[in-house]
Every structure is written in structure tokens, then in C-alpha cells.
Amino acid sequence: MRKKLLAGNWKMNKTSGELAPFFDAFAKELGAAPKCDVLFAAPFTLLQKAQELAKPRGYLIAAQNVHAEASGAFTGEVSLAMLQDVGIAASLVGHSERRQYFNETDATVAKKTKAAQAAGVMPIVCIGETLAEREAHRTEAVVGAQLDAVLEGLGNPKDLGNLVIAYEPVWAIGTGRSATSAQAQEVHAFIRKRVVAVCGADAAAKLRILYGGSANPANIVELLGQKDIDGGLVGGASLKPTDFAAMVRAAT
Ligand code: PEP
């Protein structure tokens, strides 16, 4: 049985003074301790403080990006060792905004994923098609190629370790237009089937596949009710303690 994971992606939002009020309000809204994994992907500047506040409450803190190289002349970048230095053990990899605005390719995403796994940092790898690709009936071709690049880049494809995949249709991110639960399940099932073919049934059965794209308290129950949806990657709604707490409660 895969444990559900509800992951918030704060993107380029929040400053340090907002953290304590956020976590206080979130914990209060949540009431009892969550039965699913709860994670917040925070901007680099907030990682340390967020970790201090979240860890005692049992929430995980992740980075939103990481560089594959160990060190060197990569101005503006942050390494895996730097994340681990402040206690961070997870990172988003290849979010569509990184692919769209910062030219990340399947090859760089594969490299980052491999480096993160080697370092013991949990990679949450984002894949998904654009609207034009969906309308051209290329969803499986695009998502399959993005997934293949990651799986082929791993040392031992039979052991996916702590890899998490997030299926995030680009047309659903930040648009208020979520995929329907049937659309999402169809792609999640495709992803899991592909993982079975490359990595074997055991690895595929353990792999958590999150849905992301305008998930909110109103649609999360139906999304999480699908067989191959193991949690959510949530942008806008994760900035609001009331909404995100409602989603975490729905996951338990
Ligand atoms: C995201 O940023 O990964 C995301 C899914 O955003 P939103 O929930 O706002 O669509």
C-alpha cells in the first residue's frame, strides 16, 4: 500500500516572517497529525527556517530545484550537498516552469534525478504535456519520453528508491482548469504501465505518482480516489493554510 503524499509547491512566494503564522494556522486547521506524508517545497532562502518549524510537526521540507554537479563555477545554483547541509532531503526536479523559463531539458532533468538519488535526496520529478500536445493526441508520446529519459538515466532501473513522479499537465498548472479525475487516472495508469515495462512490477507497485494542476479542496477527493493517484503536488492552494489542510485531511 503506497502512503499518500501531499506536497505543496510555494513557488516564488513567502518571506521568513510568514512561516511561523503559516505553520501555526496549518497545524490548527489540520487538528490531528496527518496520516499521509506532508511536504512543502519552499524557496531556497526559507529552507532552513521552514525546516526548523516543520520538522517537529512531522512535515517535510523540499527545495524547488537543485543542481546536478557537486560544486564549481555555476553562479546562482545550489548543490545537493548544500541542501543536505541545512537538513533538506527532497527536491522538485524538472517542474514545467523550470523547463519553460529556464530551459531545463529531459537530459538535465535525468542528470539531476540521478545525482539526487545518489546523494540520498528524494527527487520529485515533474512531467506533463502542454495543451497543444494534448490536442494533437501526443500526451502519451510526450509523457512517455520525459519518463523514459529519467528511468534510463538511473543506475539501476529495477530499484527506483525514493523516486516520486508528479504528473502535471502544463495546461492545468495555475489555470484553474484541473484535469478531470478520469483524464488524470488515464495518464497515471499509462505512467505506471511504462514503469512496469522498464523497471518491473515490484518497482512500479511501490512508485508514488502525484497529480498536479489546479488541485484544490473541491476536486482533491475525487482525484485521490483514483487507483494510480498517490497524492498531489499543489501550487496555489498550498499557500493557504485552510485550503491545504482541507486537502491533507481529504488524503487521510
Ligand atoms: C504546481 O505548481 O506544481 C501546481 C500544480 O500549481 P497549481 O496547483 O497552482 O496549478
Each residue of 56-112: pLDDT tens digit? Answer: 999 999 999 999 999 999 999 999 999 999 999 999 999 999 999 999 999 999 999
User: 14 C-alpha to center of ligand 1: Å?
Assistant: 16
State which of 210, 214, 243 you would mutate to test the pocket of ligand 1, scoring each by most atoms of that ligand within 8 A of its C-beta.
214
Pairing of strands 60-62, 5-9: unpaired
**pLDDT value at 157 more than 80:** no
Nearest CA to ligand 1 atom 6: 235
User: Given the CA of residue 215, which atom of ligand 1 is nearest to it?
Assistant: 8
Could you read off the pLDDT of 203-248 as tens digits, one per residue? Answer: 999 999 999 999 999 999 999 999 999 999 999 999 999 999 999 9
Helices 139-153 and 106-119, interaxial angle, to 10°? 40
Element containing residue 191 per DSSP (H, E): helix 181-199
User: 9 C-alpha to center of ligand 1: Å?
Assistant: 7
95 classed as catalytic: yes
Ligand 1: residues whose CB is within 6 Å?
9, 11, 168, 173-174, 212-215, 233-237
Going by C-alpha positions, the residue among 168, 14, 24, 33 that lies closest to residue 98 is 168
Q: Look at residue 167 and give its three-state secondary structure.
A: strand
User: Given the CA of residue 178, which atom of ligand 1 is nearest to it?
Assistant: 10
User: 175 C-alpha to center of ligand 1: Å?
Assistant: 9
